[in-house]
C-alpha cells in the first residue's frame, strides 16, 4: 500500500505528493512545521503542538487556512488512511506558490502538508548505553535575528552544526549561543543532573522550548526533583553527574560523553533512566 500524504485536505499517494517549485517554502524556507508523536492512536500533547504551530505561523504573518480543529481532524484522517497507530506526524505549512522575489504578498494560498510515517531517530543501543556528542563551532542563531520560538522551515543553522558533528563521528551536536553558553542540540533540548538537581538552559539562552522538554520538567517535579533553569557552560556539562537529550522524535536519550569527556560514570544515569521509564508510561496514554 502506498503511503498517503495529505495536501490541503486531500489525500494523495506519496509518489504524487508534490508542491510547486515556485513555493516559497522551497525557495526561501518560508514556512513553519511541527513534529508530533502518536502513541496508541492518539497524538501525544497534540494540542500543545498545534498551538505552537499556529503561534509560529502568526509570528511570521502566515495565516494557516484551516482551524485547529480541522487540522487535528486531517491529521487523524491521514493516520487512518495509512493504518498507523504509533507514528511520527510532520505538519508543514508553507507560504505557498509565489514569484522568484522575496515578497510574500505575491504568494497564493499557504499550503498545508501532513505526512505520517514511522520514525527511528536513534538505534536502541544509544538508549541502552548512551550517546556521545560534541560541542561545535556553529553558533545558535541570535534570538533577536530569528526567534527560536518560531519552528521555521529554514533549519540551515542546525544542519551546519549537524554536519560538524557527523564529520567528527557523532550523530548529535551541542550548539552554544553568542555569549558562549549552552543553547541546545541540533534537534534536541539538553538537560544535566548535578548534585541531585535537574538543570536545563533557560528560554533566553536561545532555545526552542520543546514539548518533550516540558513533559520531562513536569515528571521531575512530580518526583520532587529540584528543576533549575540556568546558563550552562561547557565546564558545567563536563562535570555533570548525568546528561540527556529530549525531543519529539528522540524522546529521552542518555548522553555519556561530551567532547570525549566521560559524563558521570560513563553509563546512563539513575535519574535519566527513571525519567525515561516515566515518560514511556506517560506515552502509553496519548494526549
* Distance separating alpha carbons of residues 1 and 80, to the nearest angstrom: 13
Half-sphere exposure of 99 (CA within 13 A, CB side): 6
CB atoms within 10 A of CB 15: 9
* Distance separating alpha carbons of residues 240 and 250, to the nearest angstrom: 21
C-alpha separations of 178 from 133, 204, 207, 235, 245 in Å = 20, 12, 12, 17, 21
Name the E strands within 180-229: 182-185, 189-194, 197-200, 227-229
DSSP state of 145: T
Dihedral-angle region of residue 259 (phi above 0 means left; psi in -120 to 50 means alpha; beta otherwise)? left
Residues tagged active-site: 151
Of the chain, the end-to-end C-alpha distance in Å amounts to 28
Half-sphere exposure of 50 (CA within 13 A, CB side): 19
Main-chain dihedrals φ then ψ at residue 71, nearest 5 degrees = -65, -45
Amino acid at each position: 500500500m502506498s503511503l498517503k500524504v495529505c495536501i490541503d485536505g486531500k489525500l494523495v499517494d506519496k509518489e504524487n505528493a508534490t508542491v510547486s517549485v515556485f513555493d516559497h517554502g522551497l525557495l526561501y524556507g518560508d514556512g513553519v512545521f511541527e513534529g508530533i508523536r502518536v502513541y496508541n492512536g492518539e497524538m501525544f500533547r497534540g494540542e500543545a503542538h498545534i498551538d505552537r504551530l499556529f503561534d509560529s505561523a502568526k509570528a511570521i504573518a502566515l495565516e494557516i487556512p484551516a482551524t485547529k480543529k480541522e487540522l487535528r481532524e486531517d491529521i487523524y484522517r491521514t493516520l487512518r488512511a495509512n493504518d498507523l497507530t504509533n507514528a511520527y506526524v510532520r505538519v508543514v505549512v508553507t507560504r505557498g506558490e509565489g514569484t522568484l522575489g522575496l515578497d510574500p504578498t505575491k504568494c497564493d494560498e499557504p499550503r498545508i502538508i501532513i505526512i505520517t510515517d514511522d520514525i527511528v531517530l536513534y538505534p536502541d543501543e544509544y538508549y541502552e548505553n548512551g550517546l556521545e556528542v560534541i560541542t561545535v563551532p556553529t553558533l545558535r542563531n541570535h534570538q533577536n535575528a530569528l526567534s527560536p520560538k518560531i519552528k521555521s522551515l529554514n533549519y540551515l543553522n542546525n544542519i551546519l552544526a549537524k554536519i560538524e558533528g557527523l564529520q567528527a563521528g557523532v550523530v548529535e551536536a551541542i550548539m552554544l549561543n553568542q555569549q558562549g553558553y549552552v543553547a541546545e542540540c541540533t534537534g534536541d533540548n539538553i538537560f544535566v543532573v548535578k548534585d541531585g538537581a535537574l538543570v536545563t538552559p533557560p528560554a533566553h539562552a536561545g532555545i526552542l522550548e520543546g514539548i518533550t522538554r516540558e513533559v520531562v520538567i513536569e515528571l521531575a517535579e512530580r518526583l520532587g526533583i529540584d528543576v533549575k533553569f540556568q546558563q550552562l557552560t561547557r565546564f558545567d556539562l563536563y562535570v555533570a553527574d548525568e546528561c540527556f537529550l529530549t525531543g519529539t522524535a528522540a524522546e529521552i536519550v542518555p548522553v555519556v560523553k561530551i567532547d570525549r569527556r566521560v559524563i558521570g560514570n560513563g553509563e546512563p544515569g539513575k535519574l535519566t533512566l527513571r525519567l525515561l521509564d516515566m515518560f514511556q508510561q506517560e506515552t502509553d496514554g496519548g494526549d
